[in-house]
Amino acid sequence: MVIVMTLINRKNVMAVIVGGLCSTPLFLSTALAQEVYFTPNQIMTWPTRSFEGETRYAVVEKSGRRVLEAESQGQASARYLEREIDLNETPYLQWCWQVSNTYPGLDETTKAGDDYPARVYVAHKTGFLPWQVESVNYVWASTQPQGATWPNAFTQRAQLIALQSGENRVGDWVAEVRDVRADFAALFGSNPSKIDGIALMSDGDNAGVNATAWFTHLGFSSTKDMPSCPQ
């Protein structure tokens, strides 16, 4: 696993993780021309990248389903998978998520406020060097409005999108579907044919805050149909 040595702060999340994901291309599996889904048990086998302590990950029963639980008590670590996903075959990223609470009062555009109760992110390699990547972070924001986009406070190579915001849907299962290639085009002006890695996390280390997130139905599809979330 290669860490980008030019990065100063441990919370340059995607650049650090993707430095590892994209620096070992021969280890990446060939994308399959079919739907790609990840069960909670499979995600539990993904490697962990720790930034400040470790977010606790577990498979739990919730709403009658087995889901992935991510509990952060002032910690930050991500579960990530290094794998090529063919966006020509499966361009739509989908998942269901729920959070216990948000972090009122944070300025999420600053380093001190770069904490989210839940996020899912994808990375696309743009060159041969570990730091030559672009990543899109889909976040459950606390203060940034729904639909807002902004650069990560630690690197311009990571762009964030607030899919949910504030307390409005806290405690609800929410379904998401994103056209990954369209998001890269809007945020970076690029048109990737594949992504090289996917990760998820709950973190609260910068502001010392706590939250729990739950994830299920994570995968890539050829259609933009919404996943059927737990009730």
pLDDT of res. 208: 94
pLDDT in tens, 107-153: 999 999 999 999 999 999 999 888 899 999 999 999 999 999 999 99
Residue carrying structure tokens 């990571």: 158
Q: Which CATH superfamily is domain 13-221 in?
A: Galactose-binding domain-like (2.60.120.260)
Q: Measure the CA dihedral 92/229/144/123, to 10°.
A: -30
Check if the beta carbon of residue 59 is closer than 8 Å to that of residue 203: no
Check if the beta carbon of residue 95 is closer than 8 Å to that of residue 120: yes
Average of pLDDT values for 169-183?
98
Q: Measure the CA dihedral 103/109/112/118, to 10°.
A: 40
Window from 14-18, 37-41, 50-54, 217-221 with minimum mean pLDDT: 14-18
